[in-house]
């Protein structure tokens, strides 16, 4: 069946695209459009309508063609054919017109859209820029500022906004084909003018050259802060400057040159890897396709604190009612007040109406009685990280919850198998590790116990999607994927502090690498007491070498718990929470170094970076060889979406391949000689792949 059809509807030629599920711009689609437009030049049509079957307009490139040799016609070549048509072409948009889809519409002479439609140019999210004239056509329609906003954020906008800034010509109601045919007839009645965007100039009326120079300078500064280390946003700015200052064809040459540079950049490879990794992370190896999903209509949450309240918000935001359980009415009220405060902040930012915020809060029912959880389809425990307390909670749930209910623990490192053993139904127990703040962070680490059923795993994956989370499956071990690796990252940060670095040295290195925050600043944000209390429940053997936590413990004992007390590794302004260097911390570090018999020396930025990132990577290899993670890309998803690892580096395991496994292996061996084998033992899988001359990607695909 052809993906493109063409037929006359009176005086209008209608080109219909049908390439399910999202009408991606495959070679067949491009060829079909070109053939239809060419055919229409010699028939009785007076105008053409380009529209799509199914649920959406062209939603972008065909990802199955990524990395393959280009096939003609390329998208830029197709758009030349569209724009050169001697008969006006009207793009009729529904669903989403994204990336190359919007660029296709921009090459048409007119654009109409349903009110529910959205348009956007998300290429920047893949480390790319619009490469088929988008950077040149958009500013000619919208002006410079709107074009910068649209392309550097990559966020889609609604049809009404697209109309307001000039991207489309008309918002139409009702049946799209009928409305598009009416619009086409209007165009014919008005003389069938060929409104080619390439013939326009970027609007400079009443605006000086100095204004644009200042705008571009300020925008680059903003991008440097918002997208630290990323190249594509800045190249987009350069393209839009070309649109402002050069003829259309010259601007296209600039766009093409910079697009090729982006395509060939490690950042784009990494971001494309993350795109596919995110899609893959929801797939469970060995899970039968006919696995039945449980119907989740009512959710119970135990614990109304920061985590429990945030988790509750996830569910009511998508229309699933929640029963929130606390130990007392006072605690319950505190939890509800915290939720109300979170919603009030969202309302104040204009992201939610007061009415909708109230409606969502009304979907949360409070209780102090476990029996009110009897009819829940899913219950999530979000109490203090203490195994004995969690086991007591699950024993109660086992007594009151209906058969078949999913019993989940929001634990970040406790043994899900031991928690499951406190029930008579371990097959229904799973870990659902949300990240703080739970109503914001995208990652959901799903921890499968030894006896967790396929139905519970599959349902948990579906739940993640329904509440707009990115799932990653882990088996049971201390800390699962994320926190198990984080221990080694944090260990090296503490050892670097002890051996000669300062908090600002370490944090600056990791922020310059692209981490959202450095490890010591993160410690202050989370609270130094969190790690201290977690260690309280461990044996000395489990705690490990005292050098890896002596500084943190010393700060805790001084009452320096981080931002919550105004002081931790840094001093914090009580009003702005702006951090500053505190000489007291260096005194603490030097005192602990003397106590441990460590001679402090200057540590280079390169060494800091390798010690922290290679510690993550080496532990990631151990997690893979033990089967804790399904695939390397799942680890990358965990770190990009849960721990602030720069997506443009592809996550720690993809980053390992870009550095070269041989370099990592030999450096780890050198670190073992220099810093001690108790901290540095190269993973067996890492050694194996180096000996076999394979990359991690090759191993994962074998």
List residues with catalytic annotation.
103, 123
Give the separation between CA 689 and CA 662, rounded to whole angstroms.
9
Q: What angle do CA 29, 31, 33 make, to 5 degrees?
A: 70
Helices 266-280, 248-263: inter-axial angle, 10-degree rounding:
70
15 Cβ neighbours under 8 A, 6+ residues apart: 4, 5, 6, 33, 36, 37, 40, 48, 49, 50, 51
Tokens 């439609």, located at residue? 117
303 Cβ neighbours under 8 A, 6+ residues apart: 325, 326, 335, 381, 382, 383, 410
Give the separation between CA 503 and CA 526, rounded to whole angstroms.
16
Cβ–Cβ < 8 Å for 686, 618: yes
Give the separation between CA 3 and CA 28, rounded to whole angstroms.
7
DSSP 202-222: ---TT--HHHHHHHHHHHHHH
Among positive and negative, which fits the CA dihedral 349, 354, 358, 360? negative
DSSP 545-557: -GGGTHHHHHHHH
Helices 306-316, 329-348: inter-axial angle, 10-degree rounding:
60
Helix or strand (DSSP H, E) at 119: strand 118-120
- Cis peptide leading into residue 134 (ω within 30°): no
The phi, psi pair for 48, rounded to 5°, reads -125, 145
Cβ–Cβ < 8 Å for 127, 272: yes
Which residue, among 616, 476, 479, 592, has the nearest Cα to 534 in the 3D structure? 479
Q: Is 351 exposed, middle or buried (0-12, 13-18, 19+ CB in 10 A)?
A: exposed
- State both tokens at 468: 């707009």
DSSP 40-94: HTTSS-SEEEEEESTT-S--SB-GGGTTSPP-SSPHHHHHHHHHT-SS-EEEEE-
Collapse the DSSP code of 298 into the 3-class scheme (helix H, G, I; strand E, B; otherwise coil) and give the result.
strand
The runs of H, that is alpha helices, within 227-353 are 232-245, 248-263, 266-280, 306-316, 329-348
Cβ–Cβ < 8 Å for 547, 497: no
């Amino acid at each position: 069946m052809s993906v493109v059809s063409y037929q006359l509807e009176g005086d209008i030629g209608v080109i219909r695209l049908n390439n399910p599920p999202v009408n991606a711009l495959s070679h067949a689609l491009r060829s079909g459009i070109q053939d239809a437009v060419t055919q229409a030049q010699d028939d009785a049509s007076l105008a053409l309508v380009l529209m799509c079957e199914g649920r959406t307009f062209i939603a972008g490139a065909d990802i199955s063609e990524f990395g393959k040799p280009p096939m003609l016609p390329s998208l830029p070549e197709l758009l030349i054919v569209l724009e050169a048509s001697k008969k006006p072409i009207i793009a009729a948009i529904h669903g989403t017109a994204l990336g190359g889809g919007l660029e296709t519409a921009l090459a048409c002479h007119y654009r109409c859209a349903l009110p529910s439609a959205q348009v956007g140019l998300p290429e920047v999210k893949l480390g790319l820029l619009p490469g088929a004239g988008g950077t040149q056509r958009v500013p000619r329609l919208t002006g410079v500022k709107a074009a910068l906003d649209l392309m550097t954020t990559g966020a889609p906008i609604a049809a009404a906004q697209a109309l307001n800034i000039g991207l489309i010509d008309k918002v139409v109601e009702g049946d799209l084909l009928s409305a598009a045919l009416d619009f086409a007839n209007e165009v014919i009645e008005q003389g069938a003018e060929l409104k080619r965007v390439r013939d326009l100039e970027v609007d400079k009326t009443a605006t000086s050259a100095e204004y644009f120079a200042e705008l571009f300078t300020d925008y680059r500064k903003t991008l440097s802060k918002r997208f630290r280390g990323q190249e594509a946003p800045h190249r987009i700015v350069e393209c839009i400057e070309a649109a402002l200052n050069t003829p259309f064809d010259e601007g296209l040459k600039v766009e093409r040159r910079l697009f090729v540079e982006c395509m060939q950049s490690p950042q784009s490879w990494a971001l494309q890897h993350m795109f596919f990794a995110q899609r893959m992370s929801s797939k469970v190896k060995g899970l039968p396709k006919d696995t039945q999903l449980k119907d989740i209509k009512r959710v119970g949450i135990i614990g109304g604190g920061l985590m429990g309240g945030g988790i509750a918000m996830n569910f009511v935001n998508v229309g699933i009612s929640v029963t929130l359980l606390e130990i007392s009415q006072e605690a319950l009220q505190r939890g509800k007040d915290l939720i109300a405060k979170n919603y009030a902040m969202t309302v104040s930012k204009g992201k939610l109406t007061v009415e909708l915020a109230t409606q969502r809060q009304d979907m949360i029912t409070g209780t102090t009685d476990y029996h009110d959880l009897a009819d829940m389809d899913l219950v999530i425990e979000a109490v203090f990280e203490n195994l004995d307390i969690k086991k007591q909670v699950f024993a109660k749930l086992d007594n009151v919850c209906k058969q078949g209910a999913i019993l989940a623990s929001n634990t970040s490192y406790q043994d899900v198998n031991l928690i499951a053993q406190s029930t008579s139904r371990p097959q229904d127990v799973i870990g659902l590790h949300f990240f703080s703040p739970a109503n914001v962070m995208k990652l959901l680490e799903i921890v499968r116990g030894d006896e967790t059923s396929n139905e519970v795993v599959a349902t948990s994956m579906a739940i993640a999607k329904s509440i707009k989370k990115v799932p990653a499956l882990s088996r049971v071990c201390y800390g699962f994927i994320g926190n198990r690796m984080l221990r080694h990252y944090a260990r090296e940060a503490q050892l670097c502090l002890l051996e000669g670095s300062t908090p600002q040295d370490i944090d600056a290195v990791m922020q310059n690498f692209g981490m959202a925050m450095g490890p010591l600043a993160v410690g202050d944000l989370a609270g130094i007491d969190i790690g201290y209390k977690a260690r309280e429940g461990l044996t000395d053997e489990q705690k490990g070498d005292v050098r890896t936590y002596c500084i943190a413990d010393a700060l805790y004992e001084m009452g320096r718990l981080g931002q919550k007390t105004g002081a931790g590794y840094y001093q914090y302004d009580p009003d702005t929470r702006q951090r500053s260097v505190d000489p007291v911390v260096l005194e603490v570090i030097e005192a602990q170094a003397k106590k441990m018999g460590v001679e402090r020396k200057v540590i280079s930025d390169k060494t800091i970076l390798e010690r922290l990132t290679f510690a993550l990577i080496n532990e990631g290899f151990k997690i893979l060889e033990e089967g804790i993670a399904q695939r390397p890309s799942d680890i990358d998803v965990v770190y990009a979406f849960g721990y602030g690892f720069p997506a443009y580096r592809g996550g720690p395991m993809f980053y390992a391949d870009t550095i070269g496994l041989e370099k990592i292996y030999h450096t780890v061996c050198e670190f073992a000689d220099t810093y001690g084998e108790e901290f540095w033992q190269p993973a067996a899988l890492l050694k194996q792949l180096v000996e076999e001359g394979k990359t991690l990607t090759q191993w994962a695909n074998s």
